[in-house]
Structure 1
Amino acid sequence: MLSNLDFVRQSLELHLFFARIMKEHSFFLEVGFTPKDASFTQRADEFRREFDKLLAEVVSLSNGVVGTGVLQSGEVVTQYTLNAERASSYFTGVQIPTEITLAETRLMGGGMVAVTPMLVQRVAMINQKAIFLISGLIQFKATILSNVLSCRMFTVNYPLLIDHIMREARLYLRTVQRLQNRENVIIEKEALEQEAFWNRIMAEHSKFIRGLLDPTENELINTADNFGKEFDQLTAEAIAAMDNTASFEKVTADSLKATAEIRDFKAQGTQGLLNCKIKSIIIPLLGDHTLREANHYLRLLKIFER
């Protein structure tokens, strides 16, 4: 069973990463509907605002509690996040609360704040609120995907992207539920499952990037295509390792190398989008969003490698 310290720290670290991911999923959905589906736009905006509130509350409790490694990993915010939010807000007219991002840049690592019963209670309440919100967002995404696949709705988001963000939300939900039940989540024991999951996510990021680049961006398209194929292979290898038909150590080493490379590609791409050097229909916040997910996965892989 988790100690109060681990319960609070792991919960806050999870929300710092995933609550931001969820609010951005809501944003991507919100700006992707047509005028006909204004009610869906409004619902997506409501989810985005609710996750803003959740993240703001998490940030207010995190200083001196969460691990320094998480804060330094680039999964909470990157050097591009603030400008990506400002640019994406400018392009869409959606008001993104950048003060949350600024507050995150000022967070300090753990060991500075005592974990009191009141803090434990507040974190448990945040977890319960998150479970409610994530469950609703999963259902909303499922409805959108069903509508798109049955040609009852058009959106600029790929069906695969909607399925992709639904899988991420389900992982978030499962993890919050386990923490709320005080399960001791030992990430190393779930390494192969995590690698299969995140390698697939990296493969799909590559394919989304490839499909959203302007057709004249041949070099970037080829690079993204190669990453997609590489991570498809790594996903298959991670699944094979679960059945003991491939080496866990090799899969982890190969995944670490490939993820470091795609992280650099995404960082360069995000900078290129912000500097208006890349022709695409990629909104800048999507570039930074995928970069943070690569940073998160890199931190996990470094844990697995020990």
Structure 2
Amino acid sequence: MLSGMEFVRQSLELHLFFGRIMKEHSFFLEVSFTPKDSKFSSQADNFRKEFDALLADVILLSNGVVSPEVLQSGEVITQYTLSAEMASAYFTGVDIQTKLTKAEAGLMGEAFIKPNPMLERKVFLLNQKAMSLISALIKFKANILSDVLSCKMFTVNYPLLIDHIMREAKLYLHMIQILQNRKEIDEEITTYEQEFFWNTIMAEHSKFIRGLLDPAENELFNAANNFGNEFDKLANEAKQAMGNSLFGDKVTNESLKATKEIRDFKAAGTKGILECKIRSIIIPLLADHTLREANHYLRLLKIIKKH
């Protein structure tokens, strides 16, 4: 059973990471449709704005409440996020709220927080609002995927990418539901389930990067391909470890090493894209987005190692 303030802290930390991820998913969908499906672009834009509003509320409640480790992990924002947003807004004409990123850059962490029933109530209501919004976004993503797979719609997003972002939204929703019941996320979602999920995500990131690089970028293509193969193997090992904990430490150690390596690869890639040194059709914010997810997974793996 979570204490009141652990409920507050973990809820806000979850939203700082996943709330931004969801608003960016909405952005990636928004700019992916053809003129024929402009209504879908408008719907995605509305979702993006609603997640902007949610994230703004989260930021207001988070200062001096969330842990310094989360703010310093690079999962909330990175040194590239603001530049990536500005470049992506320039390329697409979409008004990305960079003021949220600036506000997050000013957040202060706190290791020890005092009980605050009023803050608990606000976070509970925030979680309820988030669950409703995420559920609607999941349905929207599912409808898009269905239309794409039945050849009723064309988008520039891979079908696997649409499925990928839907799975991330479902995980976000599930984790909020756990917290609303005042349960520990780590007790409800096992170590191996988390490693299987995130190793799969890292494998798919690698394949998306591989497929969005210019054909002339042979070295980067091969590196992305190798990461895809490595994380496929790690995901399979994590799945096997669910039924045999003897493999657990080995999988975690290998996942930690590989995730550090792909984090560095993504960081160099984000920098290269922003400096116009890499040929690709990767929008800058997508590069930074995948980097933050690697940073998030790294923090999770370090927590797992401690236990």
Q: Secondary structure at the match of 1:64?
A: coil
**4+ residue stretches of structure 1 with deviation over 6 A?**
none
Q: Distance in 2 between matches of 1:269 and 1:238?
A: 27
Q: Distance in 1 between matches of 2:89 and 2:115?
A: 37
Q: Which amino acid aligns with 2:174?
A: R
Q: How does 1:198-277 map to 2 (within 5 A)?
A: 198-244=198-244, 247-277=247-277
Q: Distance in 2 between matches of 1:226 and 1:88?
A: 28
Structure 2 residue runs of 5 or longer lacking an equivalent are: none
Matching residue of 2:78? 78
Q: Distance in 2 between matches of 1:113 and 1:245?
A: 35
Q: Which amino acid aligns with 1:157?
A: N
Matching residue of 1:304? 304
- Deviation for aligned residue 1:222: 0.2
Q: Distance in 1 between matches of 2:187 and 2:72?
A: 19
**Residue 20 (structure 2) pairs with residue 23 (structure 1):** no
- Deviation for aligned residue 1:190: 1.3
Cα distance change on mapping 1:187 and 1:40 into 2, 3 Å: same
- Deviation for aligned residue 1:245: 7.6
Matching residue of 2:291? 291
TM-score when scaled to structure 2? 0.98
Q: Which amino acid aligns with 2:299?
A: R
Matching residue of 1:124? 124
Q: Which amino acid aligns with 1:156?
A: V
Structure 1 residue runs of 5 or longer lacking an equivalent are: none
Cα distance change on mapping 1:96 and 1:274 into 2, 3 Å: same
- Deviation for aligned residue 1:113: 5.5
Cα distance change on mapping 1:302 and 1:47 into 2, 3 Å: same
Q: Secondary structure at the match of 1:186?
A: helix
Q: Is the 8 A contact 2:178 2:188 kept in 1?
A: no
Q: Distance in 1 between matches of 2:217 and 2:27?
A: 26
Q: Distance in 2 between matches of 1:230 and 1:66?
A: 33
* Partner deviation per Cα, 1:60-117 (whole Å, 9 max, x = no partner): 1101000111011000000000000000000000001101000101111124764422
Q: Is the 8 A contact 1:238 1:248 kept in 2?
A: yes
Matching residue of 1:282? 282
TM-score when scaled to structure 1? 0.98
- Deviation for aligned residue 1:185: 2.2
- Number of residues of Structure 1 aligned to a counterpart in Structure 2: 306
Greater CA drift, 133-142 or 241-250: 241-250
Q: Distance in 2 between matches of 1:38 and 1:163?
A: 21
Q: Distance in 1 between matches of 2:28 and 2:243?
A: 37
Q: Distance in 1 between matches of 2:117 and 2:299?
A: 30
Identity %: 69
Q: Is the 8 A contact 1:209 1:282 kept in 2?
A: yes
Cα distance change on mapping 1:190 and 1:106 into 2, 3 Å: same
Q: Which amino acid aligns with 2:23?
A: K
Q: Is the 8 A contact 1:214 1:281 kept in 2?
A: yes
Q: Distance in 2 between matches of 1:72 and 1:205?
A: 23
Q: Secondary structure at the match of 2:281?
A: coil
Matching residue of 2:91? 91
Matching residue of 1:169? 169
- Deviation for aligned residue 1:181: 1.3
